[in-house]
Homo-oligomer: A and B are copies of this chain.
Amino acid sequence: MKKSEINSTEIARLAGVSRSTVSRVINNYTNVPAETREKVMKVIEAHNYFPNVSAQVLAGKRARTIGLFLFGQGRVSADVLTNMLIVSVIEHASEHGYYVLTHIIRDAKDTEVVKSVMEIFYQRRIDGGIFIGAANREPFIEELIAEGFVVGVVDQELPEQPEPNRIVSNFNNDSGMKQAVAYLAGLGHTGIGVINGDMNRLSGKTKYEGFMTAMRMCGLQVNPDWVLDGDFHETSGYNAVQTLLRSGVNLPTAIVAANDSVAFGAIRALKEQGLRVPDDISVIGFDDHAMSEKHHPALTTIRVDLGDMLKRMTSLLIATIEQKTLTVKEITLDCSLVVRDSCRRI
């Protein structure tokens, strides 16, 4: 293995200058005459020389790497969304000359796992990190922020006195829920149920609260029997509907699901019991998952632009790392109704 062993000393020797000058050329110092710069660049290119990044970081440069941490409850692999997230972050980081170290957090309750995540920051492998899918105010993330690391968290509350190294991004779930309920109300529905998401996540809470507010604003009663627990996964939608059906109570004419996966599960359970969607019961989702368009029936839902959110999050994180003086600490994106075939007029 003849690994290229060339270093700045060697480049300096070949170019007939000092290492200081080589470094100045590499770091685009302005006080290097064009002639000297070219002479050095020629040698650098001729030898395919790239400065050792560890040495650079140790000498005070940034690692130009960000961490991307995905909380996955065991089935990340299957999720189409996840891929979009990862790719979106990688490509936008790449535009800024940053690399992405991706990590999957299977169990945020496991101290070993938490330690391994924090280690990545303490080791200085990364200049900052983005967390997706975390509980609201996840303790170890709070700790990282308290330590001064630059951290971006998707789906998270911004505290009253935000630290300069904390970034947060959210969808306007309130507006989304209002659109969903208003649409169903417009179709003549009055008995509307809801299957909640994970209440430890901010979006779980805000979606539920948004639903309640929207119902009130439309002058509709919320039947407690129709407020069902869920956790954002397909199975929870399935289970929620099954429980509802078995309980023998009256059924709502429409159900709002915390996201599209939950809606898929709900529809699956409904179908299994011989109920048709939307003929017997209408279902509306949230997120506009890649599958929703192809689903039978095509799912009416609230669209959310996660790619755009992560693009902004990535840019803001990097700007913060580079100490651009920014006052923006929060990204909020709106969402909007997509009408397809899973809801009907009654």
Interface residues of chain A, those whose CB is within 8 Å of chain B, are 1-4, 48-55, 57-58, 63, 65, 72, 76-80, 82-84, 86-88, 90-91, 94, 99-104, 118-120, 122-125, 147-149, 164-165, 290, 294, 307
Which 4 pairs, one residue from A and one from B, show the smallest C-beta to C-beta distance?
A: A1-B148, A83-B83, A50-B122, A54-B57
How many copies of this chain are found per oligomer? 2
Q: Which residue of B lies closest to A65 (CB)?
A: B101
State whether A125 touches B77 (Cβ < 8 A): no
Distance between A201 CB and nearest chain B CB, rounded to angstroms: 21
State whether B124 touches A52 (Cβ < 8 A): yes
Given the complex of chains A and B, what is the CA–CA distance between A31 and B115 in angstroms?
27
Q: Which residue of B lies closest to A58 (CB)?
A: B54
- A interface: dominant SS: mixed
Of the candidates B1, B72, B86, B99, the one whose C-beta lies within 8 Å of that of A101 is B99
Tell whether A102 pairs with B104 under 8 Å between CB atoms, given A2-B148, A82-B87, A83-B80. no
State whether A290 touches B78 (Cβ < 8 A): yes
Distance between A138 CB and nearest chain B CB, rounded to angstroms: 17
Name 24 A/B residue pairs within 8 A (Cβ), A-sorted. Answer: A2-B147, A2-B148, A4-B122, A48-B122, A50-B123, A52-B124, A53-B124, A53-B125, A54-B55, A54-B57, A58-B58, A72-B87, A77-B88, A77-B307, A79-B83, A80-B83, A82-B87, A83-B83, A83-B86, A87-B104, A91-B104, A94-B104, A99-B120, A99-B125
Given the complex of chains A and B, what is the CA–CA distance between A125 and B88 in angstroms?
22
